[in-house]
C-alpha cells in the first residue's frame, strides 16, 4: 500500500473532529490490523482522540494470539483493512498456521474465549467510523 492511500485513510480517521472530551487513560485497546505502517501511524494519532487510552497493535497472529492470552483488554478492534479483507472473503494478512483462512467470525469467537463474553469488539470497513465506534466502546462521550 502506498503513502497516498495511507494518508487518505489517516485523514478519514482524523475527520472525527474534536475528540478531547473524556478520560480512558485507565483502559486499553488491542487492535488487530494488517499494515505495520498504518498501525504505527494510528498508534500515535488515536490515543489523544480516545481519552489517552493505552493502545497495543498486532499485525500478525503470532503477536495477536499471545497478547490475547497474556493481557486483559477493555476493547479489541479489527482495523478497517482486516474487515475489508474479511468482507471480500479473502484471508486477513498476518495469519499463522492456527488461523490460516479464518474469518472475523472465528477471530471474534477466539477473542471472547480468551477475553470473556463481555469484551467489546469493534469492527468497521471504514476508517471514518473507527473513532466514534471506539469512543462508544470505551464509554466516552461522542465527539
DSSP string over 78-91: E-HHHHHHHHTT-P
- Give me the pLDDT at residue 11, please: 67
- Give me the pLDDT at residue 2, please: 66
- Give me the pLDDT at residue 123, please: 98
Taking 70 as the pLDDT cut, the residues of the chain under it are 1-2, 6-7, 9-18
The residues with which 56 forms a beta bridge, in sequence order, are: 30
- Give me the pLDDT at residue 21, please: 86
Helix (H) or strand (E) holding 58: strand 54-58
Inter-CA distances, 125 with 51, 63, 77, 120, Å: 23, 22, 11, 17
- Give me the pLDDT at residue 9, please: 64
Residue 76 sits at φ, ψ, to 5 deg, of -120, 130
- Give me the pLDDT at residue 54, please: 97
> What is the pTM for the complete model shown?
0.90
- Give me the pLDDT at residue 38, please: 84
Joined together, the cell numbers standing for residue 2 give: 502506498
Residue 75 sits at φ, ψ, to 5 deg, of -140, 140
Amino acid at each position: 500500500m502506498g503513502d497516498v492511500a495511507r494518508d487518505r485513510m489517516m485523514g478519514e480517521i482524523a475527520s472525527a473532529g474534536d475528540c478531547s472530551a473524556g478520560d480512558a487513560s485507565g483502559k486499553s485497546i488491542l487492535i488487530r490490523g494488517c499494515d505495520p505502517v498504518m498501525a504505527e501511524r494510528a498508534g500515535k494519532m488515536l490515543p489523544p482522540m480516545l481519552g489517552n487510552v493505552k493502545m497495543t497493535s498486532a499485525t500478525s497472529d503470532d503477536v495477536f494470539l499471545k497478547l490475547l492470552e497474556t493481557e486483559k483488554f477493555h476493547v479489541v478492534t479489527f482495523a478497517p483493512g482486516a474487515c475489508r479483507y474479511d468482507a471480500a472473503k479473502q484471508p486477513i494478512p498476518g495469519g499463522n498456521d492456527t488461523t490460516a483462512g479464518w474469518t472475523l467470525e472465528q477471530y471474534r469467537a477466539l477473542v471472547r474465549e480468551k477475553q470473556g463474553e463481555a469484551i467489546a469488539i469493534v469492527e468497521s470497513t471504514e476508517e471514518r467510523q473507527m473513532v466514534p465506534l471506539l469512543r462508544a466502546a470505551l464509554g466516552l462521550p461522542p465527539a
